[in-house]
A and B are shown apart, each in its own frame.
Chain A
């Protein structure tokens, strides 16, 4: 059984069909890419999987159980986390605190416990701090732990966002354009890093990306969206030679010439 199944997802915004009948199966421990031209509905697909949009039709199954209709925070608790296309950090908080927010649903402190500062709350806090710091070391940004997240350079903000997502202890992580705005060297580093996430942490990774070198080098399986429909799926090799994909990216004449 696939870890994550999206069956026939459809989302309409008024007259615009952002996603139509999109079916995607994701196996445990794989890296899958969702690609397509701008406006193809990739982020809409992410938003439906993570609960930010409720699909008009279709269903999302995690480990065979439907997660459709759950709130984003409930889906995050069940182990699906994400990063955002335009980085969304809690800018005023320190980097370390940003990562600690990720541990939220695994902590239990309530109003009274915090007010009376019970032993359990203190220990839980200390553990969360240590865990957050370890995660920052893991993504290689521990040296900025006490800086305000909004003041970090772009590349570090990307890493911090991933560290924060990892703090929710996810099974699946959805990366929305993780290498956007990066130079070639940074992109290579990011590729290595994503591979590390899969190999060392056993994470299942779904990513949206426009950088074809990254997509082809990293992903084991690719789904291609165009105008909200899935037009192709397969291994990078299959996608590279798929006439539908070439047409979507380069226009009809491109296929005729070749």
Chain B
């Protein structure tokens, strides 16, 4: 019954959304380090998405929340900005993986390798680490180099994607998952051991200090700046995702996902199409890797474990594989749960324990149950929302626009033979 009521409603009334934004913005302003306030402002994005109003109004509202309200209200609160930029990093990565898993249907369990490639590309060349194998003492580079390295990270990761893809993409399904899992681990272990014979990655000690981005002499090392950097990268990735989804390539990806045989008989090359998906997904992870390295100022191979790959995959599947808003929601949800909710809940229980209300054994600390909660969430989603929180759906084409197109005058393709036949 509730379902029918929901469907008959055209969306959430604009007033409700506006009130919600105002209330959660106020909460964000008055409460320090409040999970509830932060979730409130994040939830307002979802509300805007479902608000019953013009698309342009929704875009402006969303932009206002992300670009004005959050930075203005919480800009000087390091904690909020830190969480927000971490959410952003995972959203961007999940959107990249969405191309590989969601669109092309290639189950990739080694996605974090491309993230690592981008992070190491910036870390090695922006610190004195590169002096170990490139003579001339040209390094470290200044933070100004961060910006070109966004592109370098993208290209390096894309090359990694193609190199890994070439041998890996000959297998499919479960086998692909196993092989990519292996490759992800291989890359991590290589980075872990590449301090001998030539010291390239500094091995398990990691690389530090990675310079913060700099622009016109302004050092952008605080979470406030990273929030904006991540936000712009996300906007770029979202636009790319939307354009890919309904393009020649996006259709080929979905076709390959749905039916490889039929796709081939339509003239789609399996290898090229899958490689394109791998390279595109990888390149987005590479960009995010550069930002991650600059934000952490220190990286070592432990940041790029299998658990990270699985975490990102969980975000994609939970949100809705192949669905852009779904994946954004999934990534935000899982990250907030991971970095904020559980930690907050443990802190709360600890404070209760200190005041003697309860006796909490160390083993029951909620922040230790992250994987359990992941597991339960996945099972629940698989049972009750098998297509994710916001399932993917293909856009309907505007048929009137097609009929009115400037090309609609003559017959195209094989049908051009119809008119030829009449003339002769």
Give chain A residues whose Cβ lies under 8 Å from the Cβ of B414. Answer: 135, 166-167, 169-170, 201, 203
Contact partner, A73, options B240, B264, B394, B412, Cβ 8 Å: B264
Q: Are A101 and B266 in contact (CB under 8 A)?
A: yes
Would B280 and A111 count as touching, CB distance under 8 A? yes
- Say what secondary structure dominates the interface of chain B: helix
Most buried by A among B255, B263, B270, B396: B255
Neighbouring A residues of B251 by C-beta, 8 Å: 93, 97, 100-101, 104
A92 touches B258 (CB 8 A): yes
Among the listed A94, A111, A166, which residue makes an inter-chain contact with B394, where contact means beta carbons less than 8 Å apart? A94
With A92-B394, A111-B280 already in contact, the answer to whether A145 and B249 are too (CB < 8 A) is no
Decide: A145 and B397 in contact? CB cutoff 8 A.
yes
The stretch from B54-62, B89-97, B170-178, B402-410 touching chain A is B402-410
Size bracket, chain B contacts? 35 or more
Inter-chain CA distance A117–B247, complex, in Å, is: 10
How many of chain A's residues have a CB under 8 angstroms from any CB in B?
A: 62
Question: Residues 138-178 of chain A: 1 if any B CB is under 8 Å from the residue's CB, otherwise 0?
Answer: 10001001101000000000000000111111100000000
- Does A12 reach chain B (CB closer than 8 Å)? no
Q: Which of A19-27, A119-127, A186-194, A204-212 contacts B (4 or more CB under 8 A)?
A: A119-127
A131→B399 CA distance, assembly (Å):
12
Indicate if A52 sits at the interface (CB-CB under 8 A): yes
Interface stretch (choices B33-41, B304-312, B366-374, B415-423): B415-423
The answer, yes or no, to whether B78 is at the interface (CB within 8 Å) is no
B397:A127 contact, CB within 8 angstroms: no
Instruction: Check B394–A101 contact: CB distance below 8 A.
Output: no
Contacting residues, chain B, for A107 (C-beta < 8 A): 248
- A180 interfacial contact with B, CB 8 Å: no
A81 contacts partner chain B, Cβ-Cβ < 8 Å:
yes
Q: A157–B414 Cα gap in the complex (Å)?
A: 20
Q: Choose among B252, B396, B407 the residue that contacts A126 (Cβ–Cβ < 8 A).
A: B407
Enumerate A96-133 residues with CB–CB distance to B below 8 Å. 96-97, 100-107, 109-111, 114-115, 117, 121, 124-131, 133
**Most chain-B CB neighbours within 10 Å: which of A81, A89, A133?**
A133
Residues of B with C-beta under 8 A to A167: 266, 413-414
* A44 at the binding interface (Cβ < 8 Å): no
Closest 6 CB pairs of A and B: A105-B267, A131-B412, A72-B264, A76-B267, A88-B262, A90-B258
Q: What is the interface of chain B, defined by CB distance below 8 A to chain A?
A: 240, 243-244, 247-252, 254-255, 258-259, 261-270, 276, 279-280, 392, 394, 396-397, 399, 402-403, 405-408, 411-415, 417-418, 421
